[in-house]
Amino acid sequence: MDEFLTSQGYDDLRGTAKLYQRYYPSILPRDYNDTYYQFRHTDTQRTTESFKAFAEGLFGTGNAAHPVDIPKEDLLLRPYDYCQSYKELNYKGAGSEHQKYTQSALWNSTLADISTRLGFLYTLDQADILLMYDTCRYEQAWQVDRTSVWCGAFLPEQVTVFEYAEDLKYYYGSGYGFEEDTARLNCRLVQDMLTHLSNPVSPHVIAHFGHTTGLQTLITALGVRKDDIKLRADNYNSLTNRRWKTSILGPFAANFVAVKYDCPAALDKEKAVFFLNQDAVQLDWCSVGLCNWSEVLHRYKTLADADCDEYYCRSGAASLAATTTLLASTLLAALVYLMH
């Protein structure tokens, strides 16, 4: 059942919809209208159920909300499935920063310390300790009202050591470590967002339900939470306050929301705010999260004007024979555009 949405996940998505409806009651009306709202999800059970949960949060049970048809080749929400060079990326194999880190003195001493705390006279296999770690964090996410007993195996500082391994994996697999091409992978999604937010006609609310790889490549394309120093196997201690933390970027029910505002009294009358997991995104060229729309269009002009067929994949034309994702993930990502 690892690729199915849990009951807690359903509650999370439903609650997220209710939260944004409280933020924006005038643009998230409780009555469903299929020209005002547009929903889309990928061809998986967990994104289908996430859409249903989100719609239930907005409109209540028994609503008439329905998604648009899923294309045979979903280049909008799963572009990484159709880029062969991206699928061949070595983000955690031999010679990668992730592998170097999991062979470091820090990593090995952490495994030894955990084994000692549990009463063993030898160091447990790495796979066994990582299974405990995964069970701890999954159970904690699924049963939020109680602490998983498996979490008792780890001290907070040991959890952060494991977190950095996850950060390295995703940083080079779907983040700034593979910046040249990862930033291009969501060319279509950036264009879709800018086009819809520039267009005053319906639909006024667009919600997409996809996967953590899609979300992370999107925020990479937008330059969100980019560190000044590249994450490497040897700089864990100097990057404790890094911006790229997967526990913040890609938790269960992760969501990215773009909101367009009309501000008649302002010099630049059109503005936008981006939210990542309910927190306003702080970009250097915006004022406390509020961005001039003209500057948004300027900053992302290269992506907006690109021919995505040629631009988004390093090898040029996409490989349409691909059938599986590079990063299999049970994490979900919701992307919502709102027009005030």
Residue pLDDT, tens place only, 304-315: 999 988 877 754
In the structure, what pLDDT confidence band is assigned to residue 100 with cuts at 50, 70 and 90?
very high
Q: What percent of the chain has pLDDT over 90?
A: 77
pLDDT band at 331 (very low <50, low <70, confident <90, very high): very low
pLDDT-based confidence at 334, cuts 50/70/90?
low
Q: What is the mean pLDDT of the chain?
A: 89
What digits encode the pLDDT tens for the residues 119-153? 999 999 999 999 999 999 999 999 999 999 999 99
Q: What pLDDT score was predicted for residue 107?
A: 98
Q: Give me the helix-helix angle, 126-142 and 7-23, nearest 10°.
A: 50
Predicted confidence at residue 115, as pLDDT, reads 98
pLDDT beyond 80 at 324 = no
Stretch among 89-98, 155-164, 179-188, 259-268 having the lowest mean pLDDT: 179-188
How far is the CA of 319 from the CAs of 34, 88, 239, in angstroms?
A: 34, 12, 37
230 pLDDT exceeds 70?
A: yes
Q: Are 68 and 40 in contact (CB under 8 A)?
A: yes
Q: Are 244 and 177 in contact (CB under 8 A)?
A: no
CA distance 8 to 180: 37
Look up residue 251 and give its amino acid.
P
Using DSSP's 3-state secondary structure scheme, residue 102 falls into coil
Asked whether residue 89 carries a pLDDT value surpassing 90, the answer given is no
Region of poorest pLDDT, from 32-36, 103-107, 236-240, 312-316:
312-316
Give the residue among 37, 52, 49, 40 at the shortest CA–CA distance from 78: 40
Question: Cα separation of 246 and 235, whole Å?
Answer: 17
pTM of the predicted structure, to 2 decimals: 0.89
**261-305 pLDDT, tens digit each:** 999 988 899 999 999 999 999 999 999 999 999 999 999 999 999
Confidence of residue 180 (pLDDT cuts 50, 70, 90): low
- Does pLDDT of 257 surpass 60? yes
pLDDT-derived band at 186 (thresholds 50, 70, 90) equals confident
Contact 246, 160 (CB under 8 A): no
pLDDT of residue 309: 83
Would strands 205-211 and 37-41 be described as parallel, antiparallel, or unpaired?
parallel
Among candidate residues 22, 14, 8, the one with its CA nearest the CA of residue 139: 8
The more confident residue out of 317 and 3 is 3
Expressed in angstroms, the distance from the first to the final Cα of the chain is 39
- Please report the pLDDT score of residue 327 as a whole number: 29
- In which band, very low, low, confident or very high, does the pLDDT at 179 lie, cut at 50, 70 and 90? low
